Amino acid sequence: MLAGFALLAVRAFYLQVVEASYLQNQSDATHLRVIEDDSHRGMILDRNGEPLAISTPVDSVWAHPAELAQARNRWPALTRLLGISGAQLARAIRNSAGLQFMYVDREIAPQTAKAVMALHIPGVALQREYRRYYPAGPVTGQLIGFTNIDDVGQEGAELEYNDWLRAVPGKERVLQDRYGNIVQPVESISLPVPGRNLVLSIDRRIQFLTYRALMATIRKFHAHAASAVVVNVRTGEVLALVNVPSFNPNNRSTLASSLIRDRAVTDEFEPGSMLKPFTIAAALGTGRYQPTTMIDTSPGTIRVGGYTIRDDVDSGTISVAQIIEVSSNVGATKIALSLKPETMWDMFRRAGFGMSTGVGLPGEEPGFVRPYQQWLPSEQATMSFGYGISVTVMQMAQAFAGIANDGMMMPVTILRRDQPVVGRRIMSGTIARELRNMLELVVSSGGTAPGAAVPNYLVAGKTGTAHKLGTDGYRPNSYYASFAGFVPASDPRLAMVVVVNNPRSSEYYGGEVAAPVFSRVMSGALRMLNIPPDNLPHMQRWVAQAPAAGAKGGFIRVVAQNPAAPAGGAP
């Protein structure tokens, strides 16, 4: 008996003193784990603090591959709960051979997580993660984008600002039992750092208005797609950016590449007559033309380089202002051919065509403007009314905002600006104001876009209707219908561009398809932003034509005096 106790004492001394360090290490290797202590990704907010993307906590099932492999008889219960096959689980275990960790299923429902842990399967445990949720769903689909299952941005603002939004996980050493449950924390190695919030310039209310109007338009005209951008002309902030059809980023199973693309910045198109104001701006800049300069457009056609350029009607001799009003291709061509190619090219480049806007979204295309040294007369003619040049919706919105802002084009951004920024002058203030007056005529009863009118506000804008270019040339019955404008025209605050891709109905002109979208969105946005009207009955404007044919003049702008204004007040 004494010899036995002596042997036990010697063995205890050996285990607890001589082999203590080795055995402790073996125990630690089995039960001590360093785990990541996840934190949440930063929220994406609209300019008023409304959430556009938030992270919600979820559980994922993980396992120790070797332990789970030994509990094969428990697999059926686990696979039934998680909705996976035994073959999938066996393959995952084989692929994780030699590892200490493998995911079994990610981001499961809370009730499922509770049921999994109730099974008490050896080596199976839960890990807290975060899943992205998008409250606006498809309304902000392409703009916000989405994250993958590892919470890494894949598209839109989530991708562009991933480094800003992402969280840095902490590390913690914990003691676990044989089932993978945490018995107690041992020490904190590093603390988790949550992601930073991102405040966008987007106004969710205007975003929703735009989305609803575009959805109604593609349904009414059976269009392939549509895009629209709303910009604050004074700051360059993008208040709405919408593409339809869209996708719901909360449901990754329905993601399709054709829907994910942010077409307002990635897709180039020929703008058609929306480009005419910039041709006219180039002409006004030479000093040889005025808004009242008369141009003979008879007989409504002109031959250039073997090609015939046509107007819808023969407008006869009309002023430069009327060329904008009735959207005369012949008038724009005659003006363009009287200019040096470099003069037009310089105007287009100053307006931002052919270069990225830097708006802060992935995949943005710069558009295309051929070097003026390569222009043929026919190309110069067609570029005057928007063919042979490619732009994006974002570029066109920025350029029209420049006209609205007295010729000072602000850099566009999807981030809220709390400090003023320096813009870039693209034309003189005088030319910009003359263009604004001409563009008001487009929305008059004699213009191409009376449907863009907003009650009690003066609207300035330009329509565009361009054939789509296919692999074998221009398609005869396929169009881009567009409208670009700003409001209130007397003191512009908001600019908007609407482009509808391939309206398949008897109505396909920009004034019929795109202009009403502008009217619906701006009617709501102006009220939401409390922008006062500038076209109440006591401040009506009208335009009178010079009576004598061929006389100097053309259109004369007249402003009614406010009868309540004091003597000497501004008209």
Q: What is the mean pLDDT of residues 73-83?
A: 90
Tokens of 70: 């030994």
Q: What is the mean pLDDT of residues 445-454?
A: 94
pLDDT digits (tens, 9 = 90+) for 381-400: 999 999 999 999 999 999 99
Confidence category of residue 271, pLDDT binned at 50, 70, 90: very high
Contacts of 52 (CB under 8 A, 6+ apart): 44, 45, 46, 134, 135, 136, 140, 144, 200, 202, 204
List residues bridging with 416 in a β-sheet.
none
pLDDT exceeds cutoff 50 at 566: no
pLDDT exceeds cutoff 50 at 47: yes
Please name which of 438, 430, 280, 269 lies closest in space to residue 351, comparing C-alpha atoms: 280
Pick from 112-116, 203-207, 222-226, 550-554: least confident: 550-554
pLDDT exceeds cutoff 60 at 255: yes
Per DSSP, the residues of 528-549 read HTTPPPS--GGG-EEEEE-SST
Please name which of 372, 364, 405, 391 lies closest in space to residue 275, comparing C-alpha atoms: 391
List residues bridging with 430 in a β-sheet.
none
Could you tell me what percent of the chain has a pLDDT over 70?
A: 88
Measure the CA–CA gap between 334 and 466, rounded to whole angstroms: 19
What pLDDT, on a 0 to 100 scale, did the predictor assign at position 25? Answer: 66
What pLDDT, on a 0 to 100 scale, did the predictor assign at position 15? Answer: 75
For β-strands 301-304 and 307-310, DSSP reports them as: antiparallel
Q: What is the mean pLDDT of residues 61-82?
A: 89
Contacts of 3 (CB under 8 A, 6+ apart): none
Tokens of 311: 């107007």
Measure the CA–CA gap between 423 and 65, rounded to whole angstroms: 59
pLDDT digits (tens, 9 = 90+) for 466-503: 999 887 888 888 999 999 999 999 999 999 999 999 99
Measure the CA–CA gap between 448 and 75, rounded to whole angstroms: 70
Measure the CA–CA gap between 368 and 390, rounded to whole angstroms: 5
What pLDDT, on a 0 to 100 scale, did the predictor assign at position 451? Answer: 96
Pick from 61-70, 169-178, 266-275: least confident: 169-178
Tokens of 349: 């480049």
pLDDT exceeds cutoff 90 at 201: yes
Contacts of 563 (CB under 8 A, 6+ apart): 538
Q: What is the mean pLDDT of residues 353-361?
A: 94
pLDDT exceeds cutoff 90 at 402: yes
Measure the CA–CA gap between 462 and 327, rounded to whole angstroms: 8
Confidence category of residue 182, pLDDT binned at 50, 70, 90: low
Strands, E assignment, 331-405: none
Give the chain's mean pLDDT.
Answer: 88
Task: Centre a 10 Å sphere on the Cβ of residue 369 and count the other Cβ atoms it contains.
Answer: 19
Strands, E assignment, 279-340: 294-296, 301-304, 307-310, 317-319
Q: What is the pTM of this model?
A: 0.85
Confidence category of residue 107, pLDDT binned at 50, 70, 90: confident
Measure the CA–CA gap between 323 and 326, rounded to whole angstroms: 6
Contacts of 565 (CB under 8 A, 6+ apart): none
Q: What is the mean pLDDT of residues 305-310?
A: 91
What pLDDT, on a 0 to 100 scale, did the predictor assign at position 17? Answer: 79
What pLDDT, on a 0 to 100 scale, did the predictor assign at position 241? Answer: 98
Our answer to whether residue 273 is catalytic in this structure is yes
Please name which of 132, 64, 135, 141 lies closest in space to residue 104, comparing C-alpha atoms: 64
pLDDT exceeds cutoff 50 at 157: yes
Q: Pick the catalytic residue: 273, 315, 390, 482?
A: 273
CB 449 within 8 A of CB 470: no
pLDDT exceeds cutoff 90 at 186: no
pLDDT digits (tens, 9 = 90+) for 521-559: 999 999 999 999 988 775 555 443 444 444 444 444 444
What pLDDT, on a 0 to 100 scale, did the predictor assign at position 545? Answer: 46
What pLDDT, on a 0 to 100 scale, did the predictor assign at position 563? Answer: 36
Tokens of 47: 């300019």
What pLDDT, on a 0 to 100 scale, did the predictor assign at position 97? Answer: 84
Strands, E assignment, 253-321: 294-296, 301-304, 307-310, 317-319
Tokens of 519: 């009217």
Domains located in the chain, CATH noted: 33-199 (3.90.1310.10), 222-242+267-559 (3.40.710.10)
Q: What is the mean pLDDT of residues 279-296?
A: 96
Q: What is the mean pLDDT of residues 208-224?
A: 97
Which one has a higher pLDDT value, 19 or 163?
Answer: 163
List residues bridging with 55 in a β-sheet.
132
Which one has a higher pLDDT value, 565 or 238?
Answer: 238
The secondary structure of the chain in percent helix, strand, coil, rounded to multiples of 5, reads 35, 25, 35
Instruction: Tell me if residue 308 falls in helix, strand or coil.
Output: strand
Estimate to the nearest angstrom the gap between the alpha carbon of 455 and the chain centroid: 28
pLDDT digits (tens, 9 = 90+) for 502-525: 999 889 999 999 999 999 999 999
What pLDDT, on a 0 to 100 scale, did the predictor assign at position 28? Answer: 59
